[in-house]
Amino acid sequence: MLTMTESAVTEIRNLTDLPQAPEGSGVRIAADPTAGALTLSLAATPAEDDTVLDTAGARLFLDSSATTMLDDKTLDAVKDPSGEIQFAIAEQST
């Protein structure tokens, strides 16, 4: 199952604690077959077939394809050189 670093948990909570974010919202990761990539977006609620992960109040919604692709991965959040937050996927450490 996908895990989250402390930094990712903090950044997801920062996003969902924004005044414009609905109560119970989370970050949704979905597979985009046309781009051959994953997309990350703020979502008010999970989609019907989403897997919901809640780690210390950070809610993450994964579509079925993303759940399979990220099963043995870790979500991290880091600041890029311009100070913007970037989410990254890494192998889980054993």
pLDDT, one tens digit for every residue, the chain (94 residues):
999 999 999 999 999 999 999 999 999 999 988 877 899 999 999 999 999 999 999 999 999 999 999 999 999 999 889 989 999 999 987 6
Torsion of CA 70, 52, 9, 33, to 10 degrees: 40
CA distance 64 to 14: 25
Q: Structurally, how many domains does the chain consist of? A: 1
Domain that holds residue 65: 3-91
CATH number at residue 77: 2.60.300.12
Would you list the DSSP string of 27-88?
A: EEEEEETTTTEEEEEEESS--TT-EEEEETTEEEEE-HHHHHHTTTEEEEEEE-TTS-EEEE
User: Phi-psi region for residue 67, left (φ > 0), alpha (ψ -120 to 50) or beta?
Assistant: alpha
